[in-house]
Homo-oligomer: A and B are copies of this chain.
Amino acid sequence: MTPNAAAAKAALSHIEMDEAPAAIRSKSRDFFWYSPILKERLDHLEAEFVVNPKSEAEVIEILKVCYAHDVPVTCRGAGTGNYGQAMPLSGGCLMHLKNMNRVKEIHPGRVIAEPGIIIKDLDAQTRAESGQELRMHPSTWATASIGGFIAGGSGGVGSVTWGALRDLGNIIRLRVVTMEAEPRVLDFRGEELHRVSHAYGTNGIITEVEMPLAPAYDWIDTFVAFEDFREAMEYSDGLANNPGILVKLISVYEAPMAKAYFQRVKAHVTEADTLVGIMVAPQSLDGFQTFSARWPNARIIYRSDDLQWDRSPGPVFEHGWNHTTLRALKFDPSITYLQVRYRFPDHIELVEKVRAEFGAEVLQHLEVLKESGRICFAGLPLVKFSTPERLEEIVKIHEEMGCMIFNPHRYTLEEGGRQSADQRQLDFKREADPKGLLNPGKMITWDEPDFDYAKIYAYKGMLPKPEAAE
């Protein structure tokens, strides 16, 4: 351990810590191994110590002590991100917010909670007390924290109705602690939210969240099978454009994904079946069935309320979003993925162009969502990985066709986003983290304002690999 980290750790010894090497290693990791590129670069990373504050006061103390000792602090929720969001590139202190898991207030339409609560637990409490739940959550609902979702996620189950997490109104308020000699506590609303949401904890630590709620219905899970991919895609687009039919999820899985990778589904589909996974509100079931009956080739093969299977497939949403890739990886470790935005109004034609270009090398997995109020697709296609160069080429071809790519094979904010500085995030980092100690290496424009994005950013402060260190 570096002398600085040792001194900071000693000064914080009254706060709960993880001491076991296995725990420290596991707390230093997320789902970065979805990407062969990130796996190669980040696999060796480890924090020097892991601290688990129980309160905002303890967070302030940790930030103050680490500031005094020049120790980097990387904050983490449950570590369910895929891009190394919460992995400590420079070692130092890993701050895990799992103990900050209280629900503080529940009101009609909103909840105030600490950031470390697991989304499933948060939903359970708001449902029990008020019949409400979060508007949206990642497919890692059962394990992810709300703070981690806000700091490192972008949308998910529910985005077909509510749009993205960053859309106005989908976060109400964030309380943030700065990393200065005397940390400040700030409440952000409105435009200010963009300073710290989806900032990977690079410019402040979220200690309280206020989120809008939606009604917690007993969602009906259903799978609908089609033999034609385009028909499945048009059905999904059409269903989402029926505002009277309340859905929470519409996912499209190109054949043979369901047969090949969905363990509990495979007995019920063929190699040729494209599958659509849907969550529909009970009061909208009639509308859903009426709509589906207009598609003579749509086969409703599963309904959690009625048409059940001997072995339940589990929640439909645990087949969607990033869980699709996870399921495929279990069967075929050579698979990786991309994150594509197919924008309205060209989304359907664009997917067809991409399919025609790549065929089975890039299997289509679409999530229906709203962008600027219009229904379109987020693509999380399964990519048969060959070489990093081919992966780069696949990204380039997508971009040339007019797709927007959020590259999941990068560990910085800019490369995973729009490949440009977010001035609001950078400006706030200057205020809130003058020493640049918060999750270092994740905001390129802090380190190298003139970076040209020609190839993957290599953070100079990254811990050397053990081989290189020998």
Contacts and interface: CB of A to CB of B under 8 A. Distances in A.
A282 B213 CA distance: 11
B172 A244 contact: no
B131 A286 contact: no
Contacts of A287: 168-170, 172, 190
A19 B70 CA distance: 90
Interface stretch (A88-96, A372-380, A399-407, A420-428): A372-380
Contact of A169 (B107, B286, B372): B286
Interface size on A, as a range, is 35 or more
A244 B169 contact: yes
Contacts of A283: 107-110, 169, 172, 212-213
A464 interface: no
Interface in A209-250: 212-215, 217-218, 240-246
B218 A374 contact: no
30 contacts: A108-B282, A108-B283, A109-B217, A109-B246, A162-B243, A163-B242, A167-B242, A167-B243, A168-B290, A169-B242, A169-B286, A169-B287, A170-B287, A189-B286, A189-B290, A190-B286, A190-B287, A190-B289, A190-B293, A191-B290, A191-B293, A212-B244, A212-B246, A214-B215, A240-B373, A242-B373, A243-B370, A243-B373, A373-B375, A374-B374
The 6 closest A-B pairs by CB, nearest first: A241-B373, A169-B287, A169-B244, A109-B283, A190-B290, A163-B243
Interface of A: 107-110, 131, 135, 161-163, 167-170, 172-173, 189-191, 212-215, 217-218, 240-246, 281-284, 286-291, 293, 345, 370, 372-375
